[in-house]
Structure 1
Amino acid sequence: MKLYYSPGACSLGIHIILEEIGKPYDLSLVALKEGAQHKPDFVAVNPKSKVPALDRGDGRVLTEFPVIAWWLGKSNPEAGLMPTDFEAETRCLEMLDYVCGTIHPQGFTRQFRAANFTPTEADQPKVVEQGKTLAAKYFETLEKNWTGGTYVLASGYSVADAALFFVEYWATRRSGMTLPPQLAKHLDAMLARPAVQRALQQEGLPA
């Protein structure tokens, strides 16, 4: 397998999942800040021009975080990263969608790429603040409706935790935000996992 990633991007969550699985894989750097996602070599891999993308090793490529996470969990059942109970799997997918479809674009893309949301440069600080406000709101929603223990699901650690981790990491390491208590505990638990430590080290990121 080969993961196309950019350091500190949402692909970090998939990187963590691969480390948890423990099977051999390669990393291929896509320098987003340099526009590498739009260059022919990467567009040939993923015409959507974004990370993560996963070459499964069979000549086929998967895109979209939730699908890659689900596929890795389902195709590596021995790792225990995807619940076998139908309801728990459903809730796992629900969290993947919320993180990737709401928290990421509305809460953090607004902060990191404010120009995408306004044609007026003078309005960009307002977009950033709006992103922080929305991210805080989404985190509070998770806090109030937390049904797991240390990890997201009552059934235990799963790919959903790797997804939640990357937005928690952005919040505390890039945005200067303070997480609600349960999410702060979740972040600490994730940072203590060897797979997370290895992924951060490999991407040159602080713990």
Structure 2
Amino acid sequence: MTTLCYAKKTCSIGIHVLMEEIGAPYDLKVVDFSKGEQKTPEYKALNPKGKVAALVRDDGSVLTEYAAIAMWLAMTNPDKKLLPSDPEGIARTIEAMDFVVGTVHMLSWRLWRRPDAYSENPDEHEQLRERGMTAMLAALDVVDAQLAGKDYLMGDFTIADTALYYTQYWAADVAGWTLPPNVQAHYERMKMRPSVQASRKLEGVA
């Protein structure tokens, strides 16, 4: 059975949503970051990157990185229509997902969340957090324009929406920021999906 290795309140919640969308049986293995379990030899043997999500597939092979896992899940479950069927639609979905993961998450949120990773000087941390917040909200403004007149990033629900969802959760529920209007509407729409509600319940996310 497929096993999702995840950590609470991290980007892996987006992959968890996809597992629920697919509806096939799967196991969950929590990686407790507060205890440093992502750095243990046991987890590093599974995923040398020491990150989540990691997907242990039925044959024992391990797949990592958000986009790779999301694409694999979509392509191996075509009946769930998590990805458009035409080349242009697929490319646009990857484009949207890559912007969220690469810019909204890695270049912006991480700066706000982990300023210590960018400077050892505590006096610089608040300025770095401000830069991260400004960058993330600016990136979400770009997404807001893309969502104009649409329920989801591609019109219909796709894997890209799960990436946007986890960054919305961070910005709105963890940081307490006000989201741009279309992004906020998308977030509310996502929270109504049974897959999101199920994953939040399983992970203990209010």
Partner of 1:199: 199
- Tell me the distance in 2 between the aligned counterparts of 1:189 and 1:146: 12
Deviations 1:14-68 (A, max 9, x none): 0000000000000001011221111011001000000000011111000000000
Matched residue SS, 1:3: strand
Is the CA contact (8 Å cut-off) linking 1:152 and 1:161 kept in structure 2?
Answer: yes
Instruction: For residue 113 of structure 1, report the CA deviation from its aligned partner.
Output: 1.1
Instruction: For residue 86 of structure 1, report the CA deviation from its aligned partner.
Output: 1.2
Instruction: For residue 146 of structure 1, report the CA deviation from its aligned partner.
Output: 3.1
Deviations 1:62-105 (A, max 9, x none): 00000000000000011111111111111111112111111101
- How many residues align? The count is 205
Q: After the TM superposition, which residues 109-128 of structure 1 pair with which residues of structure 2 at under 5 Å, given as runs?
A: 109-128=110-129
Deviations 1:156-207 (A, max 9, x none): 101111110000110000111111111111000000001100000100001x
- Tell me the distance in 2 between the aligned counterparts of 1:118 and 1:127: 9
Partner of 1:174: 174
Segments of 5+ residues of structure 1 without an aligned counterpart are none
Give the alignment's TM-score, normalised by structure 1: 0.96
- Tell me the distance in 2 between the aligned counterparts of 1:162 and 1:17: 7
Instruction: For residue 111 of structure 1, report the CA deviation from its aligned partner.
Output: 1.5
Which amino acid letter does the alignment assign opposite residue 200 of structure 2?
L
Is the CA contact (8 Å cut-off) linking 1:147 and 1:153 kept in structure 2?
Answer: no
Which amino acid letter does the alignment assign opposite residue 163 of structure 2?
A
Report percent identity of matched pairs. 38
Segments of 5+ residues of structure 2 without an aligned counterpart are none
Is the CA contact (8 Å cut-off) linking 1:13 and 1:163 kept in structure 2?
Answer: yes
Runs (4+) off by over 6 Å = none
Is the CA contact (8 Å cut-off) linking 2:148 and 2:182 kept in structure 1?
Answer: no
Which amino acid letter does the alignment assign opposite residue 38 of structure 1?
K
Which amino acid letter does the alignment assign opposite residue 12 of structure 2?
S
Matched residue SS, 1:50: coil
Partner of 1:60: 61
Q: After the TM superposition, which residues 1-207 of structure 1 pair with which residues of structure 2 at under 5 Å, given as runs?
A: 1-146=2-147, 149-154=150-155, 156-206=156-206
Which amino acid letter does the alignment assign opposite residue 197 of structure 1?
Q
